[in-house]
Structure 1
Amino acid sequence: MRRLGAMDQDRTPITATATIPDLFALTLFDGLPVEKDGKTIRYRAVRLRETTVAHEREAVLQAERIVTVGGVPKLLVSESEFAHALTIKHIEHFECDGIKIPSAIIDSTVVGKLSEHDFGLIEQRVYLIELAAQVRYGVINREQFDALSGGAQPAAAPQPVGQASNVGADAAATESGPSLLADFVGAGAAGAPAVDVR
Structure 2
Amino acid sequence: MNTQSTPAVVSSSIDDIFQLTLADGLPADVGGKTIKYRTVRLRETSVADERIAARMAERVMTVGGVPKLLVSESDFRYAMTMRHCEYFECDGTKLPLAVLDLDTFGKLSPHDLQLLEERVVLVTLAAQLRYGVITQADFDQFAVGRIPAGTSSSPQPVGQAADVGSHAGLPESGPALLADFTGGGANAAASGHGA
Q: Normalising by structure 2, what TM-score?
A: 0.64
Which residues of structure 1 form unaligned runs of 5+?
1-17, 158-167, 171-198
Does 2:166 match 1:155? no
- Residue aligned with 1:101, SS: strand
Q: Provide the secondary structure at the position in 2 that maps to 1:128.
A: helix
Distance 1:90 1:83 in 2: 11
Aligned pair partner of 2:124 in 122, 127, 130 = 130
Which of 60, 63, 75 does residue 66 from structure 1 map onto?
60
Matched, 1:141 2:135: yes
Is the Cα contact below 8 Å between 1:147 and 1:154 reproduced in 2? Answer: no
Q: Aligned-residue CA RMSD in angstroms?
A: 2.5
1:99 corresponds in structure 2 to: 93
Where do residues 1-198 of structure 1 align in structure 2 (5 Å cutoff)?
19-149=13-143, 150-152=145-147, 154-155=149-150
Name which of structure 1's ranges 109-118 and 84-93 shifts more when overlaid on structure 2.
109-118
Alpha-carbon separation, structure 2, partners of 1:66 and 1:20: 42
Hey, what does 1:162 align to over in structure 2?
Answer: none
Flag the structure with more relative contact order, 1 or 2, with Cα contacts below 8 A and sequence separation at least 6: 1
Q: Structure 1 or 2: larger helix share?
A: 1
Whole-Å separation in 2 of the counterparts to 1:169 and 1:141: 21
Match of 1:173 in 2: none
* Structure-2 separation of matches of 1:37 and 1:78: 35
* Structure 2 gap ranges (5+): 1-11, 156-195
